[in-house]
Amino acid sequence: MDLKKLFYLLGLGISVLSLTGLWACSSGGGTSSGGTGTTGAAGTGGASGTLTVNLTDSPFSNAKAVLVTFSEVQVHHSDRGWVTVPFAAGTSRTCDLKNLVGGAQDVLGAGSLPAGRYTQIRLVVNQSTLYFDNPSAGSACGSYILPPLGQNAPLEISSGEIKLNREFDLAAGGGSTILLDFDGEKSIQKTGNDRYLMNPVISIVSVQG
């Protein structure tokens, strides 16, 4: 075989190998593009909005203060399950129901949550006390409220978990506000032996946004 023919065959082999490598790179690029699309979809699913839960009341008339401590506020996302609404400060939130009368309201919880459809609201009350002599000072709700001086009585809570059925949408980049009414008058009962019981009665007044 002469040298010219040998060089021709070697050149042909190199060309075939180069074409094969280019085809492999092209296939790999297609797979990478598909992966990027999946990541983009996941990013869209992680969009969020701001939810605010406010509280108002028309409470137990024979008390000067009714301090109620909430340990948890959650909302149920149709795709993600229960999602916790952060308290405005601290790991719990105490509200004086007597300071929430006459249309007054305060923030129970607020935060950035996954956007989408929600179907339920869940609250947990773990402590409550009646104060008969003096009102509390300061804001209606806080991470801690200084108990007023004077006669008081603990409220025995029969069941502190309340679930409210209400569907609402939280738009990505938007916000929704829920107003809840904690009915102190219906929630508190006095027994024959001077004990006080609480069975929290909470309703949804409005959902805006």
Give the model's confidence band at 194: pLDDT under 50 very low, under 70 low, under 90 confident, else very high: confident
pLDDT of 23 higher than 60? no
pLDDT of 18 higher than 50? no
Name the average pLDDT for the chain. 81
How do residues 33-84 score in pLDDT, each as one tens digit?
Answer: 233 232 222 223 579 999 999 999 976 677 999 999 999 999 999 999 999 9
Closest residue by Cα to residue 65 from 188, 203, 180, 192: 188
Helix (H, G, I), strand (E, B) or coil at 146: coil
Closest residue by Cα to residue 53 from 9, 111, 1: 111
Segments making up each domain of the chain, as ranges: 1-45, 47-208
Per-residue model confidence (pLDDT) at position 43: 29
What share of the chain in percent tops pLDDT 90?
A: 68
C-alpha distances out from residue 114 to 50, 156, 175, 207, Å = 9, 35, 11, 17
How do residues 164-187 score in pLDDT, each as one tens digit?
Answer: 999 999 999 999 999 999 999 899
How do residues 86-101 score in pLDDT, each as one tens digit?
Answer: 998 889 999 999 999 9
